[in-house]
């Protein structure tokens, strides 16, 4: 058994996709990222995709993209013990919460210290309980909306310079898959909600944004995005890092299905 790595997302998927789709909720982030980067030519310089293989096939995986936190699937004890050789140079790492203690110990065994710096709750939509919506209506975005969507995304990044999301991931690819919802008032777009393309019956809600102050229209777009997503996906997912947003998702009909932990080296800045 060993970690195998490649810079080719297509090769990674050929080796690991069967494993990733087996529990698509637990591995949603890796599958979504790998599918996205496989669609680009070429992928970003420095990208690495790893899988832990034995005679039965792939058992674990990781995805490492420059300027992003490396993310791991649920891991076996043997894979964890060998992981520092592959990712020991990283100052930050995202793992399933159930593996966090063992991963920290593996790094400690190599003379490195990792500590939890963030916890992310994964939630899945059960039955949507939509609240009363503000004036307006939603529609699915199309190619004619590219200029406004790109302008809004640039504004979002200006307001949140710490966010490392890619335009292609948040806007271009979802738009091609009809996975962006706009909220309109009097026929004018005032907010958007993006989600990942459906993969193995799974999609994850992402950016909900309005350029004007407040969140009422972004919230409306998000709810409409949930409605549209539930028509085509079995698993409609969202990630949350704060108690307030978790409570908001619970009120909409989401239920917790997992937890991830971001581990950061002792001398690195927090996530």
Model confidence pLDDT, tens digit, residues 175-230: 999 999 999 999 999 999 999 999 999 999 999 999 999 999 999 999 999 999 99
Per the CB < 8 A criterion, the answer to whether 200 and 191 are in contact is no
> Average pLDDT of 46-71?
92
CATH code for the structural domain at 2-120+260-265: 3.40.630
Please enumerate in sequence order all residues whose Cβ is within 8 A of that of 200, keeping only pairs 6 or more positions apart, or say none: 20, 21, 24, 31
Residues of the chain above pLDDT 70, percent: 97
The pLDDT, as a whole number, for residue 41 is: 64
Return the higher-pLDDT residue of 260 and 46.
260
Please enumerate in sequence order all residues whose Cβ is within 8 A of that of 61, keeping only pairs 6 or more positions apart, or say none: 12, 16, 19, 20, 27, 30, 49, 50, 51, 52, 72, 73
Confidence of residue 266 (pLDDT cuts 50, 70, 90): confident
Does the pLDDT at position 270 exceed 50? no
Q: What is the mean pLDDT of the chain?
A: 94
Give the residue extent of every domain in the chain.
Answer: 2-120+260-265, 127-252
- Evaluate if pTM is beyond 0.85: yes
Per the CB < 8 A criterion, the answer to whether 183 and 190 are in contact is yes
Does the pLDDT at position 139 exceed 60? yes
Does the pLDDT at position 126 exceed 90? yes
CATH T-level fold of 127-252: Aminopeptidase (3.40.630)
């Amino acid at each position: 058994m060993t970690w195998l790595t490649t810079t080719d997302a297509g090769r990674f998927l050929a080796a690991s996709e069967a494993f990733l789709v087996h529990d698509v909720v637990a591995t949603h982030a890796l599958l979504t990222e790998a599918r996205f980067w496989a669609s680009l030519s070429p992928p970003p310089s420095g990208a690495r995709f790893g899988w832990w293989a034995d005679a039965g096939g792939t058992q674990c995986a990781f995805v490492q993209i420059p300027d992003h936190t490396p993310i791991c699937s649920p891991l076996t004890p043997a894979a964890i013990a060998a992981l520092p050789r592959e990712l020991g140079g990283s100052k930050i790492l995202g793992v399933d919460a159930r593996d966090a203690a063992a991963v920290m110990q593996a790094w400690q065994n190599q003379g490195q210290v990792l500590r939890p710096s963030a916890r992310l709750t994964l939630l899945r939509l059960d039955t949507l309980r939509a609240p009363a919506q503000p004036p307006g209506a939603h529609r699915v975005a199309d190619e004619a909306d590219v200029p406004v969507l790109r302008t809004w995304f640039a504004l979002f990044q200006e307001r949140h310079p710490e966010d490392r999301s890619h335009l292609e991931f948040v806007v271009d690819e979802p738009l091609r898959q009809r996975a962006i919802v706009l909220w309109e008032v009097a026929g004018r777009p005032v907010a958007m909600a993006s989600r990942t393309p459906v993969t193995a019956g799974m999609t994850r809600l992402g950016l909900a944004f309005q350029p004007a102050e407040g969140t009422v229209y972004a919230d409306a777009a998000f709810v409409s995005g949930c409605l549209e997503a539930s028509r085509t996906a079995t698993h409609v997912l969202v990630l949350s890092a704060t108690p307030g947003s978790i409570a908001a998702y619970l009120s909409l009909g989401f239920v917790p299905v997992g937890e991830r932990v971001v581990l950061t080296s002792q001398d690195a800045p927090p996530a």
